[in-house]
Structure 1
Amino acid sequence: MIHIDTHAHVFSKHDQCIETARYIPDYDATAEQFLTHLDKHGHTHGVLVQPSFFGTDNQVMLDAISQYPERLKGIAVVDRGISFNELSQLKTKGIIGARINLFGLPVPDFTLPEWTAFFSNLEQVNFQIELHAPPAYLVQVLPVLNNFKLDIVIDHFGRCVPDLGVKDPDYEKFLDLLDVSKHWIKVSGFYRLGAYPENIATAKESYALLKNKGFLGKMVWGSDWPHTQHENLVDYEKTVEAFQQIVPEAEEQELILGQNAAKLFHF
């Protein structure tokens, strides 16, 4: 039985971070530690996601995947000018998609030639695109991405604004834009949606809305380990407990952890 944690990060406090990093960790989060968590909770596989503080240098993640190629895959952060051949090389090393993290950045114009060429290359190499952005950004960029045959994976429920939750007009518009044939949602990062217990309530509301839109077969779970910038509030166990609160039905948990994730990440 396959169970997949689709969102985690690895790094050490000695790794080189980019100069513009908004956050720099002062501790280690190793692949071995991650696998210990997976084993404890009966998860067979994991997906590593490139953290923003490493920029486009994916080597730490690639090294981790190379140690455990049967259990780990990765989502890279790359420059939009990357070539098809370079993407193909990453694919041979266990990378299956590219992440665009728009927090702290202006909304990009995805209609520019360099972006359309980038998305075309992702399409040809059969990579997914993972978006980490607030609802106000998602409503601007999702329509443009509809022009490409890409699996579009949206982080952390679509990152509801804490004070507004699912009633945010931008979040409501985001939900309206979702297309079950194109989009996937990560049931993850609940603690980034506001303070406890309101964040659990928001995640439950979001999950119910997504399920009502027919997305039960297009949601996957991620621990977001090691919970950067929220390490003092949450640990792996709490993310598992939160998932069970947000998705109380055992059959739905199984679908999200197993069949959905295995399909999206090609395990």
Structure 2
Amino acid sequence: MHSAATDSRILPPGSADCHAHVIKTDRPLVSDRHSQPAADALVEDYLHTLTANGVMYGLLTAPSFYGTNNDVLLDALKRSGGRLRGTAIVEPEIGEAALASLQAEGVCGIRLNWVKRAAIPDIQSREYQGLLAKVKNLGLHVEVYLEGEHLPPVLAAINASGARAVIDHFGNPEGADGIHSEGFRALLAALDAGNTWVKLSAPFRLRGSAAPALAAEIIKQSNGERALWATDWPWVGHEEKVTYSQCIASLFECVPDAEIRNRILTKNAYEAFGFGP
């Protein structure tokens, strides 16, 4: 690759990486996990990586393998000097005061990591309907990682509650023809309605669909106003295959328009997560 091409991949001041994990391998892991950490990924390492790549802010996402123990996440937020915010995994019965306490420590949303499950929880249950109401009351968002084929009813329930929805990894559509799938079409309709965002992240986790094609549809549907960029650092399960510079290169491939790309990196992230000076 020519140096000129590399030099052109400069990110605008105040850019945000909207999905990453901090990990400590000495912490207990839940038994029903679908992944596990290979090595520590410390907040100091992440902040150094952000700075080295011209990124100001980061959103830390609670990894599923700790269950509802958010201690590693909260410690990282405390040590981040205001550069990081977080999404926590909680029990649906959590009280609003406990959620507000997490919010005071830098948590801006909750995560439903329901991928690779034999059966997903019932979002229409009393417990989850109550959780969505608490999230909306506090102005938090609901981050969802789920196979695209299971996404429509979950997304519909979040949208109906009035809470903001943030969908991981391009909506994780099914198969190579995922761009035409029911789940991806439901995601596009939600973007059009205006209270849902989607992360252009982790193309290496897609199940055959082409990230640039998915990104083009997402951008066309919302004029780029509901798209976010993220790296999924430190790429659990793919640690040796992915680099931060590759994640930046993927963004430039997926979003060739500089004005839209810069909006994704700054204004969209600020609107979704409250970043900014």
1:175 — aligned with what?
188
- Segments of structure 2 that go 5 or more residues without pairing to the other structure are 1-12
- Out of 50, 55, 60, the residue aligned to residue 48 of structure 1 is 60
Cα distance in 2, alignment partners of residues 109 and 18 from structure 1: 21
Aligned residue for 1:137? 150
Deviations 1:106-160 (A, max 9, x none): 2332221111111111111111000111111111222222221211001111012
Question: Which residue identity lines up with residue 240 of structure 2 in the other structure?
Answer: N
- The alignment partner of 1:213 has SS state of helix
Structure 1 residue runs of 4 or more that deviate by more than 3 Å after TM superposition: 176-180
Equivalent of 1:155 in 152, 165, 168: 168
Matched with 1:87 is: 99
Give 1:169 shift: 4.0
Q: Work out which of the residue numbers 113, 130, 155 in structure 2 matches 1:101.
A: 113
Q: Distance in 2 between matches of 1:234 and 1:17?
A: 24
Tell me the SS of whatever aligns to 2:134: helix
> Is 1:3 aligned with 2:33?
no
Q: What is the percentage of aligned positions where both structures have the same residue?
A: 30
Separation in 1 of the partners of 2:136 and 2:273?
15
Return the match for 1:234 from 242, 245, 264. Answer: 242
Match of 2:73? 61
Matched residue, 1:35: 47
3-state DSSP class of the match of 1:263?
helix
Matched residue of 2:219: which SS?
helix
Q: Which string of whole-angstrom CA distances, capped at 9 and with x for unpartnered residues, describes residues 198-232 of structure 1?
A: x6xx1111111112212511111111000111223
Conserved? CA contact 1:47–1:72, under 8 Å: yes
CA distance in 1, matches of 2:155, 2:27: 34
Deviation at 1:177, TM superposition (A): 4.6
User: Which residue identity is paired with 1:30?
Assistant: L
Distance 1:158 1:83, change over 3 A: same
220, 224, 228: which one aligns with 1:220: 228
Q: Is 1:116–2:129 an aligned residue pair?
A: yes
CA contact (8 A) 1:45 1:71 kept: yes
TM-score w.r.t. structure 2 length?
0.90
Q: Whole-Å Cα distance in 2 between the matches of residues 20 and 214 of structure 1?
A: 37
The question of whether the paired residues in 2 share the 8 Å contact of 1:4 and 1:257 is answered with: yes
- Residue 176 of structure 2 aligns to a residue whose secondary structure is coil
Matching of residue 20 in structure 1 with residue 32 in structure 2 = yes
> 1:224-267 deviations in whole A, cap 9, x for unaligned?
00011122321211111111111122212210001110111112
2:198 aligns with 185
- Deviations for 1:166-193, whole angstroms, at most 9, x for unmatched residues? 1334433443454442110111111111
Select between 134-143 and 4-13 the one with higher mean Cα deviation: 134-143
For residue 76 of structure 1, the aligned residue among 67, 88, 96 is 88
Q: Contact 2:216 / 2:255 at 8 angstroms: preserved in 1? A: no
The one-letter code of the counterpart of 2:252 is Q
- 1:23, CA displacement in angstroms? 1.9
Aligned partner of 2:268 in structure 1 is 260
SS class of match (1:216): coil
Is the contact made by 1:2 and 1:262 (CA closer than 8 Å) also made in structure 2? Answer: no
Alignment check: 8 A CA contact 2:149 2:181 kept? no
Q: Is this contact kept in 2: 1:75–1:99, CA < 8 A? A: yes
